[in-house]
Amino acid sequence: MSLSTARTFLSEACYGEQELDANSALLELDKGLRSVKLGEQCEAVVLFPKLFQKYPFPILINSAFLKLADIFRLGNNFLRLCVLKVTQQSEKHLEKILNVDEFVKRVFSVIHSNDPVARAITLRMLGSLASIIPERKNAHHSIRQSLDSHDNVEVEAAIFAAASFSAQSKDFAAGICNKLSEMIQALDTPVELKLKLIPMLQHMHHDASLASSSRELLQHLVSSYPSTPMVIVSLHTFTQLAASSLVDIPKQLQLLLQYLKDDPRKAVKRLAINDLKLLAKKAPHLWIRENTQTLCECALSSPYNSLKLGMLAVLSTLSGTIAIKQYFNNMTGGSSVPPRLTDLVKLSQECCYHSNLAVAAHGVIVLSNIAISCPEKDIVQLEQDTVLGVESLLMLCSQDSSSSAQATLKTALTSLVKLLKSRPHLSQSAVEFLLGQLHLSCDSSRVLVCHALAAIATHLPVLGDGMLGDLVDLYRVASHSSTDKQQELLVSLATVIFVASQSSLSAEVKTVIKQQLENVANGWTVYRIARQASRMGCHEFSSELYQSLRTRVASEHFYFWLNSLKEFSQAEQCLSHVEDGDYSGAMTAIAEALRSYQKGIASLTAASTPLSPLTFQCEFIKLRIDTLQALSQLICTCNSLKTSPPPAIATTVGLAGNDLQRCGRISMQMKVCMDEFRSLAARYSELHQSSFDADYATLRNVELQQQSCLLVSHVIEALILDPQAASFQEYGTLGSVQTESEYERRMMSVFSRVLEEVEGLTKKHPPVSCLHTGCLCDAVIALLKVPLSFQRYFFQKLQSTSIKLALSPSPRTPSEPIPVQNSQQLTLKVEGVVQHGSTPGLFRKIHSVCLNVTSILQSKTGPEYKIPLDTKTNEIEQRVEPHNDYFSTQFLLNFSILGTHTVTVEASVVDESGIEWKTGPKTTVSVKSMEDPYSQQLRHQLQQGGSQPAPQRSAYARF
């Protein structure tokens, strides 16, 4: 029963249980370890990785590993093997073992066993621990001894351990290198053993002399042992060593190309190709033109499709890097051959029409990358060749539903979209071709073609109108069944229609889509289409879809979620009817939108759960509500110039020196509005900083909302409050920024137009007149007319990152403060674990964690004296880089003032670009500062002697 209890606890997927639960699970597993039944012991051992994943802090991991070490020391070989597997699975937790010496001592005692299998398991265990004990001399000695063993199992384990220690320890690598050389070159060493020893040389890269001697040995082996297995192992080790030491990569490239060109064995050629691809990814800048040319010549002369495919894979990797520019730049400097007549272009053109689809796909990639990066005059012919090659491959693959054909189709479409972004003048004919293929393709191919059309239309919206007719015609006959591919096709086609329509769906299009959805679509497909409509700004249509879905879900949380989405879509639909110049209509539309938004935020709050709190969604909607209220207030303020103009004396007051008084009460109201918009911009910035897991489009959306608030505040300042100081230079490049979505394009267009109008008005008319307030109201209406885009992160979280903190010392109970004497300082240890979802680092990765510790005096118990401000609080910040998702640091805090202090530890993360994100969490602990016994005794003596109490002395006041 005990193990089943632990298994139930450890199988739960959610985090957030109390520490007692983890400790009780450890106790249950400990009972299983002490069982007399071997099966229960093994089951307890294999449950430990789940325990480490559940509670990944050192105090528990240290205890657990010490228990496992005891099992390893006292158990049989099968138990030892289980412990070894657990250790290898928990490699990222090894550095959290606190008593490393004790742990290694218990494990190492088995190395003296008479059983060679026990010794072999121990050696593998030591190899698995190499990251935390790289310089243990007794381990080094045991590994060297075991390499001379007569038992094959022990020797193989020693090789594994030696490779692990060589990767971690420079001293061990330097010491073992000569022994390795002797064993490899010895005549009595079996060939099978040599093949296992040679890969260890890839770790001999800790200094130049060690790498050089290892390279000489490998060179000798390659020339002295020409058998296929020996050449393959030696060459691959050669490549790994060169990739680690970097300086030998050019020589290694020449060696691999030589074997690829001259060696007749296919296995060696295949190994050379794989290693060349590794070096192409590792160091493409080191590929000179001669290397690429040799590879092209080999590919042109090779009769084998498999080898040609491998060489083209290397070239396709190189074609997207600086190597392709070096190929053409060096060529033009030395000869007059046009680019399209070079071997590289000939090869890629030939392969585009190859019968092998994978070869053709790589040919298309190379040719399109050349067309994108080649700057020559005769690029027109190369572009046409590229488009023809892509179109022929698309025509061939679009009617084939096999997995290989679909992978080739996806590759070809990706290359085409990339080419069209670089060469927009080719887009019209390419779109017409893709639309023609849509009618002839199979369903899975249609989905991929739709994705490509959506990407092209997003980049070039002018092509959208031309697509719409064909797309709607295809939607009418798109689906006749409810298979997964048919459902996916409905979503993809609808997405392209939304992109092509640019958020203005006609009644005919809506009818066609609804009819198909009613006939064959399931609820999930309808939701996905509604989600895409919300993203593209088609809010009227999405509102109707959400309305139809509300009653088709099984959970009330889902009902409230769909209801909130319906209300948000209705709110944005109200704003879409705003007309230019109709200020009262804009006020009415905002009021209706706010009414729907308030209903929606209530439903959104009801939809949140402890596991899915919907924090980003709630904050984004609250900001949208406050922004609409601020825009409504701004229109009211502009109207007040008509209802309450400046008094007649205002001009005289303005001439006396106060320009703002000349405008009357509107100037003060405008200042309030400006401050409100700046506050909203700051809140949008905070939302942006807290959204570490958001995708780039969502973050850009939040940035645009922030910029719109800053724009309005800037326009208020430029038109009314301070026209002389307003500068337009920093906004001058808005129109030339590369946009990635229709929403961003519209917002940037509004920003540019508003700034031009404001700049022209400030030069012609002094403030404040109806022209100025009209310009402000027009800017508000222009912003309202852009349909809001609800991006992916509002609906879906693809990346999940959270930080869990543990503080020590910790109080016995949450309400009890930590006692500390005022003459001493408290050492606060902060440990943390970074927890990831299923796709860690999809958008950005954590480089370091910033910990901020502050303390505030809550209540004072000592005598009343004037206390320096710097002694009341502590404020310290440290940055620490997590290793294997774990970090630890310490803070020294001073509590010289008697009383209760609140210590707050807040974590934020810094990504690889150096941007700080306010992710949290924030942990609070209470500290009670008490008087030390000596000071207390001295004060009592002074009081008994009738003397006045001396001022309190702190730790710093003594010096």
Any idea which of 138-152, 373-387, 441-455, 895-909 has the lowest mean pLDDT?
373-387
Tokens 């997964």 sit at which residue? Answer: 484
Contact call for residues 893 and 874 (beta carbons, < 8 A): yes
- Residue 713, pLDDT > 80, answer yes
User: In the structure, what pLDDT confidence band is assigned to residue 411 with cuts at 50, 70 and 90?
Assistant: very high
Contact call for residues 168 and 131 (beta carbons, < 8 A): yes
Report d(CA 349, CA 315) in Å as an integer.
Answer: 13
Averaged pLDDT, 208-237: 91
Q: What are phi and psi of 283, to 5 degrees?
A: -145, 70
Angle at 641 between CA 773 and CA 713, to 5 degrees: 40
Q: What is the DSSP string of 404-449?
A: HHHHHHHHHHHHHHHHHHH-GGGHHHHHHHHHHHHHHS-HHHHHHH
User: In the structure, what pLDDT confidence band is assigned to residue 376 with cuts at 50, 70 and 90?
Assistant: low
Give the burial class of 602: count Cβ atoms within 10 A of its Cβ; 0-12 exposed, 13-18 middle, 19 or more buried: middle
Contact call for residues 692 and 844 (beta carbons, < 8 A): yes
- Residue 71 Cα distances to 61, 86, 136, 564, angstroms: 15, 12, 22, 56
Q: How far is CA 50 from the centre of its chain?
A: 25
User: In the structure, what pLDDT confidence band is assigned to residue 957 with cuts at 50, 70 and 90?
Assistant: very low
Beta pairing class for 874-880 and 801-808: unpaired
Element (H, E) at 928: strand 922-930
Give the burial class of 788: count Cβ atoms within 10 A of its Cβ; 0-12 exposed, 13-18 middle, 19 or more buried: buried
Averaged pLDDT, 812-820: 86
Percent of the chain with pLDDT over 70: 88
Cβ neighbours for 46, distance < 8 A, ≥ 6 positions apart: 82, 85, 86
Confidence at residue 862, expressed as pLDDT on a 0 to 100 scale: 61
Any idea which of 189-203, 279-293, 335-349, 627-641 has the lowest mean pLDDT?
335-349
- Residue 834, pLDDT > 70, answer yes
Averaged pLDDT, 316-331: 84
Averaged pLDDT, 763-779: 79
Report d(CA 451, CA 918) in Å as an integer.
Answer: 34
Q: How far is CA 650 from the centre of its chain?
A: 57
Any idea which of 286-295, 643-652, 804-813 has the lowest mean pLDDT?
643-652
Report d(CA 260, CA 277) in Å as an integer.
Answer: 13
The C-alpha torsion from 456 through 461 and 462 to 464, rounded to 10°, is 70
What is the edge-to-edge ordering of all strands in the sheet holding 886-894? 801-808, 825-836, 886-894
Any idea which of 118-127, 155-164, 566-575, 741-750 has the lowest mean pLDDT?
741-750
Contact call for residues 832 and 804 (beta carbons, < 8 A): yes
Percent of the chain with pLDDT over 90: 56
Confidence at residue 20, expressed as pLDDT on a 0 to 100 scale: 46
User: In the structure, what pLDDT confidence band is assigned to residue 643 with cuts at 50, 70 and 90?
Assistant: low
- Residue 883, pLDDT > 50, answer yes
Confidence at residue 762, expressed as pLDDT on a 0 to 100 scale: 75
Structure tokens at 426: 């080719």
Contact call for residues 119 and 113 (beta carbons, < 8 A): yes
User: In the structure, what pLDDT confidence band is assigned to residue 2 with cuts at 50, 70 and 90?
Assistant: low
- Residue 829, pLDDT > 70, answer yes
Per residue in 47-57, pLDDT (tens digit) is: 999 989 888 88
Residue 104 or 656, more confident = 104
Cβ neighbours for 441, distance < 8 A, ≥ 6 positions apart: 398, 399, 449
User: In the structure, what pLDDT confidence band is assigned to residue 619 with cuts at 50, 70 and 90?
Assistant: very high
pTM of the full predicted structure?
Answer: 0.86
Mean predicted lDDT score pLDDT of the chain: 86
User: In the structure, what pLDDT confidence band is assigned to residue 910 with cuts at 50, 70 and 90?
Assistant: very high
Per residue in 6-39, pLDDT (tens digit) is: 666 565 544 444 444 677 888 888 888 888 899 9
Confidence at residue 13, expressed as pLDDT on a 0 to 100 scale: 42
Give the burial class of 879: count Cβ atoms within 10 A of its Cβ; 0-12 exposed, 13-18 middle, 19 or more buried: middle
Evaluated on CA atoms 214, 217, 222, 226, the torsion sign reads: negative
User: In the structure, what pLDDT confidence band is assigned to residue 383 with cuts at 50, 70 and 90?
Assistant: confident
Confidence at residue 15, expressed as pLDDT on a 0 to 100 scale: 40
Per residue in 537-558, pLDDT (tens digit) is: 999 999 999 999 998 988 899 9
Highest mean pLDDT among 397-406, 626-635, 769-778: 626-635
Q: How far is CA 935 from the centre of its chain?
A: 55
Tokens 């409050």 sit at which residue? Answer: 721
User: In the structure, what pLDDT confidence band is assigned to residue 589 with cuts at 50, 70 and 90?
Assistant: very high
Among candidate residues 635, 709, 641, the one with its CA nearest the CA of residue 678: 709
Any idea which of 331-340, 615-624, 921-930 has the lowest mean pLDDT?
331-340
- Residue 235, pLDDT > 50, answer yes
Confidence at residue 441, expressed as pLDDT on a 0 to 100 scale: 87
Confidence at residue 841, expressed as pLDDT on a 0 to 100 scale: 86
- Residue 660, pLDDT > 80, answer no
Confidence at residue 107, expressed as pLDDT on a 0 to 100 scale: 95
Per residue in 775-813, pLDDT (tens digit) is: 889 999 999 999 999 999 999 999 999 999 999 888 888
Among candidate residues 527, 499, 535, the one with its CA nearest the CA of residue 792: 535
Beta pairing class for 922-930 and 818-821: parallel
- Residue 865, pLDDT > 60, answer no
Any idea which of 120-124, 676-680, 774-778 has the lowest mean pLDDT?
774-778
The C-alpha torsion from 763 through 768 and 769 to 775, rounded to 10°, is 60
Residues belonging to the chain: 959
